[in-house]
A and B are shown apart, each in its own frame.
Chain A
Amino acid sequence: MKLFKYIFRELSNNHKFSILFVLNLAMGLAGFIALDGFKVSLDQTIKAKSKVLLGADFGVSARRAITDDEKKTVLKNVTNKATLKKIEQTNMVEVFSMVSNLNKKTRLIQIRAIEYDYPFYGKVELQRNKLNQTEAHKNLSDSLKLWVHPEVLGQLNVKVGDSLKVGSAIFEIADVVTSDSASGFTSSVAPRIYMSLENLKATELIKVGSLAWYTVFYKIPNLDNMQLTELRDKVFEQIESPELQIYTHEKASEQMAGLLTILNDFLGLASLVALFLSAIGTVFLVRSYFSLKVDQIAILISLGLTPKLASGFYLIQIFVLGFVSSLVASLVALLIVPVIGSLTQGLLPFEISFIIKPSTFLLGVLIGSLGSALICLPLSLNLIHIKPIRLLSKDQVNVNHSTLLTLGYSLPALLFFWFLAVQLSNSFKIGSMFALIFIFSGLFLFLLSFLIFRPMKSFSSINNLSLRWALREITRDKITTATCFVSVGIGVLLLNLLPQVQKSVQDDLKNPLDSKIPSFFMFDIQEEQVDPLIEIIKNQKAELRQVSPTIQARLIEVNGNDFSKKIDFKKNQQKLSREQEQELRSRNRGFNLSYKDKLDASETILEGKPFSGQFDESKTAEISLEKRFAQRLGLKINDRMTFEIDGIPIEGVVVNLRSIKWSSFQPNFFIQFQPGALDLAPKTFVATVNTSDAESKLRLQDSVVEAHPNISMIDVSRVIERIVQITDQMVWALQFMSLLCFLAGFVVIYSIANHQATIKKWDIGLLKSLGASFRTIQNQFLWQFIIISFLASMVGLMISFLVSFLISNFIFENTWTLDSTPAILSLVGSLIVSVIVTLMAINKSLKTKTVDLFSE
């Protein structure tokens, strides 16, 4: 207790340091805690609503009809007889199709064909038939009727009671859906309608190779999530076909939130940057604080305190301050969580209920107190080397030890940072890469500052007095300069990076350089419909860009080894990283194969040779793979792949790896065979078409739908619009976190400027006594921090341009375009903020009277 009394007395005596410490660390921690709170809220919401979101306890899905045997496998594995008796199941088929009103106005629509007991949990609420669900379902299946989402009414200019043509059948709109609890991701490009499963046959939409998703939902009462997971594992092991997706309600809902989860992981990394900047500020503050305490510690040691105890005493102070910071940060986080919620609204099919759990606070406290103790460990351990002899001889002030030892002491903090990065990104690879790149970038910037500021020594004869002094200060106090430089540099880098990447991605989506964006992307074209379709396109004076065959297949062997059977599914019981999940998904789904004789403009061979020509039956068929797809599945040139198409095995050898510019919106495939190899396989076609204007676009759409109602047409411009909207929203959310980093960088500047002004109180007084005016001294500080901020911002901008260029070229594979507006805004913003922050920080110290300089 006595110890804590001393600690609190010490901290309250140094209240300015304590306040700055808390302000600085709380700034970085707040974003971190807020994100954890958001993540927990998301998880909790998913857990609480997952049954309603799926509409069932358990589901099995595939892009083909699920067989009775497969359905029975689920039931077979429920061992409890009482439960078995209560199991219910219902089927659903989802398909995209063009739907038209009687005036032949058409739109792409997502069709859900359901049975009367769908959904088991939650409900599809209707405008007219609000109360009696059974009655409503009966109506739906009795005759050709539809429930439509409200957007359909607007898009097709229809109302309840009107008719819609779906495939070959005419349906009547029976009701409007007002709330769809099991909405999943409502299609961004197509609104939804419901019909009964029986009536789907009348539409004749489902043909060979049609893109349709079949799902069986199960209501399995009395099984908790763990038992459901066990059931899923058993079913997975017993079902031979790997393209079947088997999921519990919780897993399905997690997948629905996939986009937000990825965003969340990246936001987590951005918040880690803010925390890192705060850590820099903290180290700087503590370093200055300890340097002022050296004499005091020497006195305590001379009075009998062991150096270790003295060091521990100060380390506990840091721990206590870290603890207080985390409490302050938690309070700020309470305000930030709803902001993140509103920034990510619309990326989720459901509302999140915000809860801040004690575990979130505990995490904040752990990072705040333990983290700050760890980062200040090297400084505290330095104190052990203080010798009381310094009290007798002021010249013996050197308490620093070797760089190697300092690095050794810093290791726990670096490992802690790395651990947090992996945790936050939910990916060992991304987290480790981030931690490494970030630490090395910080070091690089630190060293770069020495190089950049060194030549300023030669400006020592500059006329402006304040500027001359500022330059002298910058070049002499290298550590202060470098710390400010790194903090502002990183802040500006992040602030400018996202808009640069966003600009390139969106420009590329809207105006690809080497290809025109097609007006329509058509799919589900049957083989016999290709020629008539080409004729229609020709008649409508539209331009057919590409027609590509699509063959559904399963990859069963690679180099003679079984590939189709799942990877060790036990792994799935542990928390999978994003890479593992991706691999699992890739291995277990069916593939769409295609073939063509030459590459499209959007494709480039990166490795290997082009196809040798038409397939020669005496040789193995040649395969071209998309580079990243090959990497994900560990495939390389000369690997032999065996696919199963309609029960028949087809073998091929990988001859090249190619890159694809996906933003071209041309039909592209991960796996391409050489022409002739798949001629006999059952196939459908996809095509892209260009039209000259909006009117001819509508005309083409109407005539294709009239002649071939099963062909679906996606209006590419609407897809792009939606992608741009989503990227905008994601960038906004990330920008918010970057802004926090930017501000954290300036809290570091504030801390440093304030501390500088405090410890330089004597110097300020002296300059005043020598006749320097208030303005001259104030300008010196302003110049000092403006110069550092300007150069740091410039370097931050340059690096952000470089990184965005690399990201655009190597990750998004698009053309980099420079966006000068955010760059100018970041630069100007950084300068304005540095002026304001410096003035705020030094104001009080500048007003201190010079009288203190005298001895009395």
Chain B
Amino acid sequence: MILEVKNLSKTFKQGEDIIKALHDISFSLEAGKSLALTGPSGSGKTTILTLLAGLDSVNSGSITVDGTLMSALSEKQLALFRSRTVGIVFQQFHLMPNLTAQENVSLPLEILSSPNAEEQTIEMLKAVGLSDRKNHLPHQLSGGERQRVAIARASVMRPKVLLADEPSGNLDTETGKKVMDLLFNMTKTSGTSLVLVTHDLELAKRCDYQLHMLGGQLDQRFVNTHSGISIETV
């Protein structure tokens, strides 16, 4: 299993109140497969994503990614692990405004001081069809192009898991579809596992598995029971 989530719970403090964002969630995902997390706003799907990315800590339970127990890692190890194992695509693209498309894509390589960064970046830009736009700054690109740069950036390290947070949410239908086609193709070709947070049920159907979230828990009624994913809910 590339991903193993066991009895995961997460609470937030909001003033005096304690909000239960996730409650006792368990699931796992095979390598190379895709999983869609759906559910209404506030159901906890993005919280799962941030925990899977190691950007926030769990209150209880465990997350194992590619055999590594994330809670056992120090902040520094976590940063290193994240840069090597996980790629993230955001809804708002989050490209660095002062960097060109090429520089944005090569950021993860720079962080790891990877050799041949330039070749890998160019190759990735070619893969997303933007090699001719490599010297453009984000504000000189269209929304679809920006998201393609973001996908290229998330994929350039050949991560084991790609986490995508509503990647087509900010794009028109046609551009969104193109971007998603690209995302699915790339993960399939590279054998990367994909965890996709989306409101779009049609899009979710394109994934190998779907999990529906409701009030911080997995909604068992919608659990897709294809092989490759095991779900343990209370």
Contacts and interface: CB of A to CB of B under 8 A. Distances in A.
Interface of A: 394-395, 397, 463, 465, 468, 472-473, 476-477, 762-763, 765-774, 776, 849-851, 853-856
Interface stretch (B83-91, B174-182, B200-208, B226-234): B83-91
A570 to B, nearest CB: 63
A768 B55 contact: yes
Contacts of A394: 143
A771 B112 contact: yes
Interface in B9-44: 41-42
B56 A849 contact: yes
Contacts of A853: 90, 92, 94
Nearest to A849: B56
B55 A849 contact: yes
B82 A769 contact: yes
Interface in B164-189: 165-166, 169
6 contacts: A394-B143, A770-B107, A771-B108, A771-B112, A854-B90, A856-B45
Given A473-B98, A476-B98, A769-B55, A855 B110 contact: no
A855 B56 contact: no
Contact of B166 (A472, A773, A855): A855
B72 interface: no
A701 to B, nearest CB: 74
Q: What are the nearest 9 A-B pairs in CB distance? A: A771-B83, A856-B46, A476-B98, A855-B91, A850-B55, A854-B46, A771-B82, A771-B79, A766-B94
A395 B142 CA distance: 8
B47 interface: yes
B50 A850 contact: yes
A149 B197 CA distance: 92
Interface in B142-172: 143, 153, 165-166, 169
A243 B49 CA distance: 92
A765 B41 CA distance: 22
Contact of B98 (A397, A472, A771, A855): A472
Contacts of B108: 770-771
B79 A772 contact: yes
A771 B113 CA distance: 12
B219 interface: no
Contact of A854 (B99, B107, B153, B165): B165
B110 A465 contact: yes
A428 B55 CA distance: 62
B107 A767 contact: yes
Interface string B98-111: 11000100011011
A854 B47 CA distance: 9
Contact of B49 (A463, A776, A854): A854
Contacts of A850: 50, 55-56
Tell me the dominant secondary structure on chain A's binding face. Answer: helix
B55 A855 contact: no
A771 B84 contact: yes
B80 interface: yes
Contacts of B90: 853-855
A119 to B, nearest CB: 73
A397 B50 contact: no
Nearest to A855: B91
B75 A477 contact: no
B103 to A, nearest CB: 8
A763 B138 CA distance: 13
A773 B42 contact: no
Contacts of A473: 98
A472 B75 contact: no
A763 B197 CA distance: 22
Contact of B92 (A463, A477, A763, A855): A855
B221 interface: no
B139 A397 contact: yes
Nearest to A477: B98
Nearest to B80: A771
A473 B82 CA distance: 24
A65 to B, nearest CB: 80
Contact of B53 (A395, A762, A763, A769): A769
A769 B78 CA distance: 10
A467 to B, nearest CB: 12
A767 to B, nearest CB: 7
B96 interface: yes
Contact of A472 (B92, B94, B99, B169): B99
Contacts of A849: 55-56
A731 to B, nearest CB: 43
A720 B173 CA distance: 85
A854 B42 CA distance: 12
The winner among A477, A762, A855 for most chain B CB atoms within 10 A is: A855
Given A476-B98, A850-B55, A856-B47, A769 B88 contact: yes
Contacts of A766: 94, 96
The winner among B41, B55, B143, B166 for most chain A CB atoms within 10 A is: B55
B107 to A, nearest CB: 6
A853 B95 CA distance: 11
Nearest to A766: B94
A851 B98 contact: no
Contacts of B56: 849-851
